[in-house]
Amino acid sequence: MPGWLEVVVRGVLFLFVLFLTTKILGKKQLSELSFFEYVSGITIGSIAAEVMMGLENNIWHGIIGVAIFAVLPFFVEILSLHSKTVRDVVEGKGTVLIKDGKILEDNLKKEKYTTDELLQLLRGRDVFKVDEVEYAVLEADGKLSVLLKKDNRPLTRKDLDLPSINEKEPHTIVMDGEIFDEKLASAGKNRAWLKGELDKQNVTIENVFLGQVDSSGQLTIDLYDDKIEVPTPQDKPLLLANMKKCQADLELFALATDSEKAKRLYAANAKKLQESMDVLSPHLKG
C-alpha cells in the first residue's frame, strides 16, 4: 500500500474510533470538567495523530492506547458516581476565593493564582469591581463561579412583587419549511391549527424557515423571504387594549346616566373589569 493511501485509511479508521469513544464516554468527556477528562482528551488525540501520521507505528497498538484512555476514565467515572471520597480525589473540589466580600489570599496562593488572574476571571463573569462580589468559587475545571451581592444582582419579578407566571418552554415546530409532527403534538397542536395560523398571517408553509410556538399557543415565524414583514402576534395586547377601552366606557356611562340604579350597575361593572384587568395584564403583556 502506498504511504498516502495508508494515511487516508488510518485517518478514516481513527476518526471512527474517536467518534465511538466519545459516544461511549458521553457528553461529560466533551465538557472536560475533571482532571481525568482533560488528560484523556489530550492523550487520545495525541495517540490518534501519532499513529495516523507515523506509519512505522503499529495501528493496533494505537487502538489499544486509545482504548486504555477510554476504558480507565470510564471505570473511574462509575466509581466516582458511587463514592464522594473518590469524587473529591479524582474530580477535585472547588476552592473558595472570595467569601463575605473579602478575597481569601491564602486560598489564592494555594491555587497559584495571581491577583491579575483573579481579576481577569472576574471580568470574564462581567464583574469589574471586586466590591460587587459576595462569594466566588474557583471550580475544579478552572472556571470561576460568582455570587454577586444582593444589591448588584439583576432585578427579577420577585423583587418587584409581580405575580408569578409559569411559562413553559417554546416548541420549534417548523424547520426549513418542514413540519415536525412530534413537536407539534408535544405543543398540543396539530397540522390543521398550524395551517389556520399560517393562513391568518397569509403565508404558505413552504416559505416558513423557522416556526416556534410558545406556551400560550402563539406562533412566531421567520420567513425565507426577508422582504415580507411578519407581524408580531397582536392578540393579547389587543385584548388588553379592548378591556381598557371598555372599562373607560363603563365609567363614562356611570357618569352620564341620570338613573341612580344604572349608575351603580355601571360603576360596579367598571370596578369588576378593572380587577380582571389587573389580574390579566401580566399575562397579556408581551
Partner 1 sequence: MTVGADIKQCLATIKSIEAGLSSLAINTNAEDEQRLFHEQMMVIEEIKQDLMKRIGEVEREEEQYKGF
Binding stretches for partner 1 (CB under 8 A): 165-168, 187-188, 215-218, 235-236, 238-239, 242-243, 245-246, 249-250, 253, 256-257, 262, 265-266, 268-269, 272-273, 275-276, 279-280, 283
Compute the least distance from the CB of residue 221 to partner 1, in Å: 16
Compute the least distance from the CB of residue 130 to partner 1, in Å: 41
Residue placing its CB nearer to partner 1 in the complex, 28 or 264? 264
Distance CA 247, CA 274 (A): 7
Residue placing its CB nearer to partner 1 in the complex, 25 or 187? 187
Compute the least distance from the CB of residue 227 to partner 1, in Å: 30
Compute the least distance from the CB of residue 9 to partner 1, in Å: 52
Compute the least distance from the CB of residue 276 to partner 1, in Å: 5
Q: Provide the sign of the torsion angle of the four alpha carbons 101, 106, 112, 116, taken in this order.
A: positive
Distance CA 263, CA 253 (A): 7
Residue placing its CB nearer to partner 1 in the complex, 168 or 227? 168
Q: Can you tell me which residue has the cell 478552572?
A: 142
Residue placing its CB nearer to partner 1 in the complex, 148 or 265? 265
Ramachandran quadrant class, 257 (left: phi over 0; alpha: psi -120 to 50; beta: rest): beta
Rounded to 5 degrees, what are φ and ψ at 229? -85, 120
**DSSP codes of every residue in 211-280:** EEE-TT--EEEEES-TTSPPPPP-HHHHHHHHHHHHHHHHHHHHHH---HHHHHHHHHHHHHHHHHHHHH
Residues 6+ apart with CB under 8 A from 110: 95
Residue placing its CB nearer to partner 1 in the complex, 71 or 246? 246
Compute the least distance from the CB of residue 235 to partner 1, in Å: 7
Closest CA to 120 of 141, 144, 99, 148: 144
Identity of the residue numbered 217? G
Compute the least distance from the CB of residue 263 to partner 1, in Å: 11
Residue placing its CB nearer to partner 1 in the complex, 199 or 235? 235
Residue placing its CB nearer to partner 1 in the complex, 95 or 212? 212
